[in-house]
Each structure stands twice: as C-alpha cells, then as structure tokens.
C-alpha cells in the first residue's frame, strides 16, 4: 500500500493562500496520492514549530516572512537557495532537510 505524501506551505499570514487548492489539483492531475496543508507559523514561533512540522512532512513551500529565517533550521542549501540565501522550498528525505 502506498503512503500518502504530506506537504505544506508556511508563512505568516496565510489566510489568502490558494496553495492547497492548486496543489490538490496538480496532485490529482499527476495521479499522486498526496495531501497539502497550510501551516501559518508566526515568526516568533518558527524555530520551535517548524522542525516539529517538518518531522511529519515530505516537503515544504516557504513564503514571506520565513524565506531567510528557515535557513538555520535546515541541514544545507543547494542551488539558488544557497546563492541567494533565500528558500522557496524544502525537500525532506534521507539526506535531511534541504533548501
């Protein structure tokens, strides 16, 4: 049996986010069994809450105001995230948490 992949977007505030609707449709079109949620995390709670949330996820989309604040919570940066010191996505797998 295939496991349902779990993803979320984080930022603050996120009441306006269309990401769950968009990703649900993309997953359906691609035949992927996945869920996508909104995790509104206030900046002062990021260091405590994001690692706990990432432990239960396969990936994260990052938006304002967390694009740089997430960096110390990751194992490493790659590509443009490393170049610009700004993270849009976090891949979570056996290699760790990669921006």
User: Per-residue pLDDT tens for 53-91?
Assistant: 999 999 999 999 999 999 999 999 999 999 999 999 999
User: Per-residue pLDDT tens for 60-69?
Assistant: 999 999 999 9
Scanning the structure block, which residue is given the tokens 């976090």? 90
| C-alpha–C-alpha distance, residues 48 and 46, integer Å | 5
pTM: 0.92
Give me the active site residues, please: 67
Residue 88 has phi, psi (to 5 degrees) of -100, -35
């Amino acid at each position: 049996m295939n496991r349902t992949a779990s993803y979320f977007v984080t930022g603050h505030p996120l009441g306006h986010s269309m990401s769950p609707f968009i990703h649900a449709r993309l997953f359906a079109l691609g035949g992927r069994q996945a869920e996508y949620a909104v995790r509104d995390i206030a900046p002062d709670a990021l260091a405590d809450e994001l690692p706990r949330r990432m432990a239960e996820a396969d990936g994260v989309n990052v938006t304002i105001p967390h694009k740089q604040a997430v960096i110390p919570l990751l194992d490493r940066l790659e590509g443009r995230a490393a170049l610009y010191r700004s993270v849009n996505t976090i891949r979570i797998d056996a290699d760790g948490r990669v921006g």
